[in-house]
Chain A
Amino acid sequence: MAESARHQVGSKPLIKWTLIGLALSVTLVLLVIPLVLIFSQAFSAGWGTLMANLGDEYTLHAIGLTLFVALVTVPLNLVFGTALAWAVTRFQFPGRKLLITLIDIPFAISPVVAGLLYLLLYGRNGWVGSWLGQYDLQLMFAWPGIVMVTVFVTSPFVARELIPLMQQQGSQEEEAGVVLGASGWRVFRHITLPNIKWALIYGVVLTNARAVGEFGAVSVVSGNIRGETNTLPLHVELLYQDYNIVGAFASASLLAAIAILTLAVKGFVEWHQARERDLQPEHRTEK
């Protein structure tokens, strides 16, 4: 049967197909066509130009810097996110709820404000920055600053993915492990980690996507020095302001490709989790 046997609100064909048509149009106009535009612009001057644009010295440097920032940011936030999720889902302690709210701060704050916060503290006039300046250490308008703000804006992702899952799974399996005499590391490695593996991977992918693509916060602390502190998104902006539209979209297409990869990983992770859920015969009755 093509139609669901169950009569539900909105299952009349006219309403149903109108709504589907509308949703498809919104998706097409708001999401699909923009994505198509990025690649069509990048390729508009031919494959050779695209390669030349990507092979440009400054572009290569921007790609390198961006990868480096992601490479530092992701492991830091992986450790932090996992530790935080473990602490708030496995233990009760005063201030637990506050901690859960605090990690949402980077989501709520404008990236420009985030950049500014770091600039004020670690910049030449800031109280930490001026002290570091005595030792000739400059964090702002240099790569450390970029890494720091990126860690800030991406810090919630891993924890946000893990907390609901770990809360829902509960700690009975870990308790069972401890009763059986397992050490802390063994419990984490053999019981917890396999259970949260997929959420962890998705958290990492999200962190990576945002780390690679952060613009506002990085733009405040970077100083936009071509070939030195220009990340890929900043490079896109620079090219665009120079009216090098094709060049801008060439770099943008790299970032868009990472975004598509992120969506693919998400789809895969969700498919995997749904399959695991379907394997659970919880609702089957005993025979």
Chain B
Amino acid sequence: MSIQIDQVNKFYGQFQALHDVSLTIPEGQITALLGPSGSGKTTLLRIIAGLESAERGRILFGGEDISQLHVRDRNVGFVFQHYALFRHLTVAQNIAFGLESLPKKQRPPKPEIRATVARLLEMIQLPHLANRYPAQLSGGQKQRVALARALATKPRILLLDEPFGALDARVRKDLRRWLRNLHDEFHFTSVFVTHDQEEALELSDQVVVVSHGRVEQVNAPTELYARPESRFVFDFLGQVNEFSGQLKEGRLVQGDAWVRLPESPSGSEAQLYLRPHEVRLTSEPSEQAHFPFCIEAVSLIGSEVRVELKAQGWQSEDVWEVGISHAEFNRRQPRRGDRCYAVPDIAHLFAEGQDQPRTISWGDSA
């Protein structure tokens, strides 16, 4: 079932948590609501569930307006950030709770409920813990029980609030993969809230970036990373290197550093954003760009070697980060304190007073 959010506004007293949010969440996909804390993403999720109500606007499930429907009657699955398992019920009783809450006419007979619970316990791979209490489970186990409990009534929509926030890195990865498989099998519409960009990009089909109660950008993960539409999205998604300077004769200049621009934008100042993998390291400056650096740190962990660079003869607010392959690392053997130059292949230019970037490519010419 698709979800449509139509001009939703939410206030807490004087504070406006959501500004005219409109959004379509396609059926059968996983959508991530991504944003920093306090951006309104959890509020939006709770409004979809019916745990909060909006002052203005509508929520539609499969084209039907359900804004007036009580949470109880929306039949959504909701997984709470801290699981909210019923601490005085066993794992099995927790999972059965939703089925046993159905009105008498729709409630399945007891043996059927038991069978459903057993099946769900199989699915979450915890049949041996059926009679434990939540306090006796680990965080990852609690999370799975919370999921099974939410899925027991077969909702078409599954909402998850920071589903992996409280888990440590390894368990988080396993669970993420597991949730992905589960989703591919059952094809419910899922929406999850996260502040972790990696999680959003890895798990979802569609990412909604939220900031200050507004939707910044909606895109597939690959698109979002390749073509951020605003400074906020750029800053929020992954590491970015920044260069700000004055426009002079087709070049962007600051101190000893400069880069030649294929076409000159308007205004006198501009900023250039560069992803770590869009920059190469050379020992000599090129025709196109002159970014002198001193290597400050080299980190070998991961699939790439991360090199941290300190600007030489010009100012940069943060150190630059450049990713190089292990093969290239072995060839060049960069070391702390070495001098080098950065050469961009692709960069994103923010002209003065503009929030939309223009992507520039130098191709192989450099």
Contacts and interface: CB of A to CB of B under 8 A. Distances in A.
Given A286-B138, A286-B139, A286-B140, A180 B101 contact: yes
Interface size for chain A: under 10, 10 to 19, 20 to 34, or 35 or more residues? 20 to 34
Nearest to A182: B101
A134 interface: no
A195 B138 contact: no
A172 B135 contact: no
Interface in A147-205: 172-173, 175-183, 186, 190-191, 194-195
Nearest to A179: B78
Interface stretch (A47-55, A69-77, A230-238, A276-284): A276-284
A177 B97 contact: yes
Given A173-B86, A181-B153, A281 B97 contact: no
Contacts of B152: 180
Interface in A249-280: 276, 279-280
Contact of B101 (A173, A181, A280, A286): A181
A175 B80 CA distance: 9
Contact of A276 (B75, B78, B85, B135): B135
A176 B86 contact: yes
A176 B78 contact: yes
A97 interface: no
Interface in B162-190: 167-168, 170-171
B87 A179 contact: no
Contacts of A176: 78, 80, 84-86, 149
A285 B140 CA distance: 10
Contacts of B101: 177, 180-183, 186
A173 B89 CA distance: 11
B171 A286 contact: yes
Contact of A281 (B76, B135, B167): B135
Choose among B72, B80, B152, B170 the residue with the greatest number of A CB atoms under 10 Å from its CB. B72
B300 interface: no
Contact of B135 (A191, A280, A287): A280
A147 to B, nearest CB: 34
A173 B138 contact: no
Given A175-B80, A280-B135, A281-B136, A182 B97 contact: yes
Interface in B13-64: 49-51
A286 B49 contact: no
B294 interface: no
Contacts of B87: 173, 195
B203 interface: no
A175 B72 contact: no
B82 interface: yes
Given A172-B82, A195-B88, A280-B135, A181 B72 contact: yes
Contact of B98 (A180, A190, A279): A180
B129 interface: no
29 contacts: A172-B82, A173-B84, A175-B51, A175-B71, A176-B80, A176-B86, A177-B86, A178-B71, A179-B50, A179-B150, A180-B97, A180-B101, A180-B149, A180-B150, A181-B75, A181-B98, A181-B101, A182-B72, A182-B98, A182-B101, A186-B101, A190-B86, A194-B88, A195-B87, A195-B88, A279-B136, A280-B135, A286-B167, A287-B138
Interface of A: 172-173, 175-183, 186, 190-191, 194-195, 276, 279-281, 284-287
Interface of B: 49-51, 71-73, 75-78, 80, 82, 84-89, 97-98, 101-102, 133, 135-140, 149-150, 152-153, 167-168, 170-171
The 7 closest A-B pairs by CB, nearest first: A194-B88, A180-B98, A172-B84, A182-B101, A176-B84, A279-B135, A179-B78
